[in-house]
Amino acid sequence: MMPVLFSGTGTDHGSRYQFHRISACPARIAGFPNGVFKTGKYKKYIWRKLRHYLMGSQFEIEQMIEGRLRSYLSRDKTGIRREVLRLLLRIKQMTIADILAELKEQFSVSFHTMASMVGIIASRIGILKVNRNVGGVSTYELKEKYASMVVRLVSA
């Protein structure tokens, strides 16, 4: 059973998370005394340690991402998800409008549907890098370390 890492979420004192004196708080995992949650310069360090503690090694992360991508592609009835990934492999950086323009001939899909599909690939699966421009238009590109995995799974 996984130990309780933090209890209570609140907005007291302007903080998004409120940690209590428990045995496995993020500060303790990062090596600080029990119950201490430093803000400011230590906060990023603590969360990085916490992420490493929860996620494990890079190999485990890649295995988890590959499993999520396999599951996502197994639910692809029309082939549009594979086609979006093929486009991102072929053309390095694309916006939602670019992807929609490319796929409009093959599939009848709306802008909202395409945006949600790419958002799931970017956020839940985690294989896309998102660059937000000043004008509010986001460009998406496939992370290089996952390109070979995507090629293997899309062609299968």
Please report, for the domain that includes residue 66, its CATH number. 1.10.10.10
Say yes or no to pLDDT of 53 above 80. Answer: no
* More confident: 83 or 27: 83
Contact of 6 with 17, CB cutoff 8 Å: yes
What is the tens place of the pLDDT at every residue in 19-45?
A: 443 445 555 555 555 445 545 556 666
Pair (79, 104) in one structural domain: yes
pTM over 0.75: no
Give, rounded to a whole angstrom, the gap between the first and last alpha carbons of the chain: 36
Name the maximum alpha-carbon separation found in the chain: 60
22 located within any domain: yes
Pair (62, 86) in one structural domain: yes
Closest by alpha carbon to 89, among 97, 75, 99, 76?
A: 99
**What is the structure's pLDDT at 111?**
92
Confidence of residue 59 (pLDDT cuts 50, 70, 90): confident
Say yes or no to pLDDT of 61 above 50. Answer: yes
**What is the structure's pLDDT at 52?**
61
3 located within any domain: no
**What is the structure's pLDDT at 12?**
44
What is the tens place of the pLDDT at every residue in 85-140?
A: 999 999 889 999 999 999 988 999 999 999 999 998 988 888 898 988 888 888 99
Pair (65, 112) in one structural domain: yes
30 located within any domain: yes
6 located within any domain: no
2 located within any domain: no
Pair (101, 81) in one structural domain: yes
Pair (40, 72) in one structural domain: no
Confidence of residue 63 (pLDDT cuts 50, 70, 90): confident
CA distance 150 to 86: 8
